Structure 1
Amino acid sequence: MKEKIANWRLTIRFKWTCLLSLAIFMVFGLFATLIYTSIEQALLHNEENNVRDTVSAVDSRFNVYQAPLTRQQVQRRLAPKTKRNFHDTHGRLVTESPEDFYRDSLTKQLARGDLSLVLFDTHGKPIFKMGNIDTKFERTKTTKITVVKRNAQRLKHLRALMPIYSERTKQIIGYAKITNGMRNYHRTFRQLNQKMLLVILFAILLSIILGYLLTQPLVRRIKQINRTIDQINDDPDSTARIPQQRSNDEITDLVDRFNHMLDRMQDYTNQQKEFVEDVSHELRTPVAVIEGHLKLLQRWGKDDPQVLEESIDASVSEIDRMKKLIQEMLDLTRAEQIENNYVNETTQANETIHQAYNDFVMLHPDFKINLDDTVPPKTIVKIYRNHLMQILVILLDNAVKYSRDRKEINLSVSTESNMLAIAVQDFGVGVKQEDLKRIFNRFYRVDKARSRQSGGNGLGLSIAKKIVEMYKGNISAESAVGSGTIFRVNLPLTSKKNKH
């Protein structure tokens, strides 16, 4: 049981559904609370107005007296049986009939049924009571309206305490207590609470459904990502990708980046396989040659000085080629680490270019090497000096190797759009268009027999391309069979005039 609880987890769908449901329900709850409070205040204000109307009616009915109220006066004013004549506060004679009582505002208020009234004389003795109301006396000099709760039912009701002043003498002639049971108020709220309960249940159900529906697209996309990852884990060579959708949101951006990452990983995997296959192929030949010569010497060749010398020379030659291959492989590996170790390095372009030019002029006196240099003095290029020299050496050496009849090389350097532009042109055998796209691949050689004779392993241009790309530059080639090849390199410049 404990293990099941420990392994149990809350899914992201459950979490997001709960979160969205809670958010939707809170918004609804806030809205419902505002409506509920507004209705309550409106109903309570209406009941308070009814009490104030009753207070006003009581005061207008009894303020005509000058002396303290008596039971007989109250009885005559509240329950007349015959016509009665009396003088009002201005001394005018007024005749009142029993029918006038029932048209009076006080009578209409008391007829509502939820209003109760008790009158007191000036000593606090009850002289009239109507309705269910306590007769406890509380002396006051001003009218007070308060909201109280009944102890038993815990229901709100209104209570008004008021002194009755004589309009003529301005003296207190009695007191009144009025209570409003607010039956309409409570009945309305009972109905409202029942409906609110149904609405709350509906809101909970609706918020859960909406929360589930809103999280469904996101969860579906996550499942697609998981399925794609599982397919790739099962088959690293799989071309499975996350399906694209038309929506333009963060999940789409994530999917695009993930698919792009998978494409790059697939490219790296393919390159690694090709690299291993090419290295195995390239090393197999020199190893087989050395093995053949050693077996030859082991059987009988060691007794023949001529065979011994030829075998040793051939083995040393193959070992030298293996050393060069291993060195080029190391250079290619280091080129892939430039972004971490040399990304901020700079060098003076003029100095490095002229050094490479002078070195090749000295090493290949049989070649005519032309230099066209329009680079301003002290131009700083964003590349490590040794790497720039390595690029120039690879391109110039490649031009020398593939030049047969016309031994001439053009080296031109210039600045264009904040870039250092380098062009190396030879007039050799050239490259076919179908081969031109692959000359930067590892171990690729257009003329393998001639490349082997010249000591090439097919890694030079791959190394040059990797170095250039690591420094945010670009390299390209143009060629025509029998007319030669032009390699173009562009590297970013910096505004700095001095080397680090």
Structure 2
Amino acid sequence: MKQKLASLRLTIRLKWTCFLSLALFLIFGILATLIYTAVGQAFVQIEENNVRDTVSAVDARFSVYREPLTKEQVRLRLAPSLTNPDSSNQDERDSLLRYPEAFYRDSLSKQLARGDLAMVLYDPQLHPLFKIGQINSKLNHRQSREIVLKKGLKRSSYLETVAPIYSNTSKKLIGYVKVNNGMRSYHRAFQQLNGKLLLTVVLAIILSIFLGYVLTQPLVRRIKQVNRTIDKINDNPDSQDRIAKQKSNDEITDLADRFNKMLDRMQEYTNQQKEFVQDVSHELRTPVAVLEGHLKMLQRWGKDDPQVLAESLDASVAEVSRMKKLIQEMLDLTRAEQIEVNYIHETTQANETLKQVYGDFVMLHPDFKINMDDTVPPKTIVQIYRNHLMQILIILLDNAVKYSRDRKEINLSASTEGQMLSIAVQDFGVGIDQEDLQRIFARFYRVDKARSRESGGNGLGLPIAKKIVEMYKGTITAESAVGSGTIFRVNLPLAPKKSK
């Protein structure tokens, strides 16, 4: 049983439909409860006002007496007999004979004529004097003088109150009145209201489920779209399928954008890996073939020929050194592609790094005239790892040295423009043709393959520099003219200033 329950699949559509349905139903329930309570309080307030009006009418009718109430007084004031010859109030008898409708227009009569009001009148000793309607005539001094909501025998509620009656003239207590309100209108109205409310609740449940299902449709549709894209990528890792962009600006759209960027990055890494394998295999094929040729030659007849042995060993050592350098440059290029993960937040002082590289090249190439124009403000911080900045400068200066044949002069300049550090390296060497200038940053590309091979170049220096600069959100460009030299310009972002 537990395994069956564990294997049940609760889809996001089902979860969100239930959640939204419950939320909508709770909102409706809260609103319905508030309205139901407000209507109930309003109805009770109306019934309480009827009780108060009845008590006020009784008080107004009997407060004219100076002494405690008697049955005769109550009978005369509430139910006078128009034909009673013993009535002591001739004016009252004449008034009722002349205007019999006055009794029915009387406010107290109107209240008692409703049928759901009941009343008992008492003398000061709590002896019942008059009773009308279904009401318990027992009364004690501890009974509440406020309007109280009580439960009846059939669980139907009713209102009850007890009030003293005082004489307007003598200010004496002349009796008590007890009034019950059975609230028939209240109960009848709420029976109808409960029936309609029950129907409304059923409709609300159906509507909330329907709305919950409809509102989850876009979410489920987008998730299915993501799943389909993932399935396509799993079936074909080289697939260019991506999640379609939507006009909506929500979390699902953000997720889709991030997923597409992740796929682009993975595709880029996959392509880089393929290019890396292809380039390495292509570049290593030549030195391996050279080594193989020399070794076979030594195997055949080089053992006994000192000259062939020496030449083969020298050539083999040179090829091994070139392979070693090639492997190191490929590793540098691979590390450059990981800068965004490991070094993106590194910073360094531009002035010190520039001076150090400049001093090293002046010492290593005393036959060159290296000019430096540094207008960078002191303690300028650039957003780049120190070793990477040095590597960029070394690559550019080393190329300038390699391709300067007649005029051995190099200009190195640095300045700040806005929030960027601008570096320029200029040589006066052979220059680069405009057709080749567009491809100098490609891997293993050499403008003059023969001369590059003689100088020990593998065509990876500029690609490494370009990759490092781009990883730090900078730019690198080249300008050149054949026979006049080349100038490389590098722009790197400065580190943001820390707020004090």
Tell me whether the two structures share a fold, i.e. TM-score over 0.5. Answer: yes
Q: Give, in angstroms, the shift of residue 385 of structure 1.
A: 5.4
Residue identity opposite 1:443 in structure 2: F
Q: Deviations over 1:437-479 (max 9, x none)?
A: 4322322233334433332211111222233344553211123
Cα deviation for residue 164 of structure 1 reads: 3.4
Does 1:58 pair with 2:62?
no
Contact 1:163 1:174 in 2 (8 A): yes
Change (3 A) 1:122 1:392: closer
Contact 1:119-1:126 within 8 A present in 2 as well: yes
Instruction: Say if 2:404 and 2:427, in contact at 8 Å, map to a contact too.
Output: no
Question: Which residue does 2:355 correspond to in 1?
Answer: 351
**In the aligned structure 1, how far is the partner of 2:323 from the partner of 2:3?**
59
**1:267-286 pair list within 5 angstroms:** 267-286=268-287
C-alpha offsets along residues 78-125 of structure 1, whole Å, 9 cap, x if unaligned? 33332676559xx99974335433332222211111111223344433
Deviation track 1:175-224 (CA, whole Å, cap 9, x = no partner) reads 33221100001111111111122222222222333333333323322322
Deviations 1:48-82 (A, max 9, x none): 11112211222333344445444444334333332
Distance in 2 (alpha carbons) for counterparts of 1:208 and 1:76: 66
Partner residue in 2 for 1:118: 120
Report if the CA contact (8 A) 1:431-1:484 is conserved: no
- Taking only aligned residues, the RMSD between alpha carbons, in angstroms, comes to 3.2
- Counterpart position of 1:5: 5
Structure 2 CA distance for aligned equivalents of residues 173 and 387 of structure 1? 108
Contact 2:353 2:390 in 1 (8 A): no
Residue in 1 aligned with 2:221?
220
Q: 1:169: Cα distance to partner?
A: 3.7
Q: Is the 8 A contact 2:143 2:162 kept in 1?
A: no
Note the 1:225-374 alignment, pairs <5 A. Answer: 225-336=226-337, 340=342, 343-346=346-349, 348-359=352-363, 361-362=365-366, 365=367, 369=369, 371-374=371-374
Paired residue type of 2:362: N
Show CA shifts across 1:351-375 (max 9, x none): 224324414533xx4xx64525243
Which deviates more, 109-118 or 19-28? 19-28
Could you say which residue in structure 2 is the equivalent of 1:47? 47
8 Å contact from structure 1 (residues 350, 375) kept in 2: no
In 2, Cα distance between the equivalents of 1:465 and 1:14? 52
| Residue number in structure 2 paired with 1:82 | 82
Does the aligned pair in 2 maintain the 1:411–1:424 contact within 8 Å?
A: yes
Q: Secondary structure at the match of 1:20?
A: helix
* 2:149 equivalent among 147, 150, 162: 147
CA contact (8 A) 1:350 1:379 kept: no
Q: Provide the rounded CA distance (Å) in 2 between the counterparts of 1:432 and 1:51.
A: 105
User: Percent identity, aligned pairs only?
Assistant: 61
1:76 and 1:487, CA in 2 relative to 1: closer, same or farther beyond 3 A?
A: same
Structure 1 residues 171 and 351, CA, compared in 2 at 3 Å: closer, same or farther? closer
Q: Summarize the Cα distance change of 1:481–1:248 in structure 2 as closer, same or farther, 3 Å threshold.
A: farther
Question: What's 1:397 paired with?
Answer: 398
Residues 415 and 301 from structure 1, CA distance in 2 versus in 1: closer, same or farther, beyond 3 angstroms? same
User: Where in structure 2 are there 5+ consecutive unaligned residues?
Assistant: none
Structure 1 CA distance for aligned equivalents of residues 76 and 145 of structure 2: 24
Q: Deviations over 1:227-263 (max 9, x none)?
A: 2223222222111111011223333333223322322
Distance 1:485 1:156, change over 3 A: same
Aligned to 1:96, the other structure's residue is in SS state helix
The structure-2 alpha-carbon separation of the partners of 1:400 and 1:345, relative to structure 1 and needing over 3 Å to count, comes to closer
* Corresponding residue number in structure 2 for 1:478: 479
Question: Contact 2:82–2:93 at 8 Å: present in 1 too?
Answer: no
For these two proteins, the number of residue pairs brought into alignment is: 487
**TM-score between the two structures when normalised by the length of structure 1:** 0.86
> Residue type of the partner of 1:82?
L
> How many Å separate the matches in 2 of 1:111 and 1:381?
96
Matched letter for residue 432 of structure 2: G
1:109 match: 111
Structure 1 contact 399–428 (Cα < 8 Å) conserved: no
Q: Does the 8 A contact of 1:439 with 1:446 survive in 2?
A: yes
Residue identity matched to 2:193: L
Distance (whole Å) between structure 2 residues aligned to residue 142 and residue 319 of structure 1: 112
Deviations 1:371-423 (A, max 9, x none): 2524358565635555444333322332344456x545432303131514222
| Secondary structure, aligned partner of 2:134 | coil
Q: 1:423 touches 1:486 (CA, 8 Å); kept in 2?
A: yes
Structure 1: segments with no counterpart, 5+ residues: none
Equivalent position of 1:131 in the other structure: 133
Letter of the 2:449 partner, please give it: K
Query: Which AA in structure 1 matches 2:324?
Result: K
Describe the SS at the equivalent of 1:29: helix
The C-alpha deviation readout for 1:130-161, integer Å capped at 9, x for no partner, is 221122133479954222111x3222111122
Contact kept, 8 Å, 1:162 with 1:176, in 2: the verdict is yes
Distance 2:34 2:227 in 1: 45
Report the more deviating stretch, 415-424 or 187-196: 415-424
Aligned equivalents of 1:360, 1:308: Cα separation in 2: 34
SS in 1 for 2:13: helix
How far apart are 1:336 and its partner, in Å? 4.2
User: Does the 8 A contact of 1:369 with 1:409 survive in 2?
Assistant: yes
Give the secondary structure class of the aligned counterpart of 2:365. helix
Q: In 2, distance between residues paired with 1:332 and 1:290? A: 25
Correspondence for 1:375: 375
Task: Report if the CA contact (8 A) 2:362-2:370 is conserved.
Answer: no
Distance 1:194 1:49, change over 3 A: same
388 and 52 in structure 1: CA distance in 2 versus 1, 3 angstrom threshold = closer
1:363-442 maps to which residues of 2 (within 5 A)? 365=367, 369=369, 371-375=371-375, 380=380, 382=382, 386-402=387-403, 406-417=406-417, 418-433=420-435, 435-442=436-443
**Deviation at residue 338 of structure 1 after TM alignment:** 5.1
Give the distance between the partners of 2:35 and 2:147, measured in 1 at CA.
25
CA distance in 2, matches of 1:45, 1:67: 34
Deviates more, 1:347-356 or 1:292-301: 347-356
1:160·1:178 contact (CA, 8 Å) conserved in 2?
Answer: yes
Cα gap change, 1:121 to 1:397, in 2 (>3 Å): closer
Does the CA-based 8 Å contact 1:86-1:95 persist in structure 2? no
Q: State the alpha-carbon separation in 2 of the partners of residues 187 and 350 from structure 1.
A: 95
Assess, with a 3 A threshold, how the Cα gap between structure 1 residues 6 and 278 changes in structure 2: closer, same or farther: same
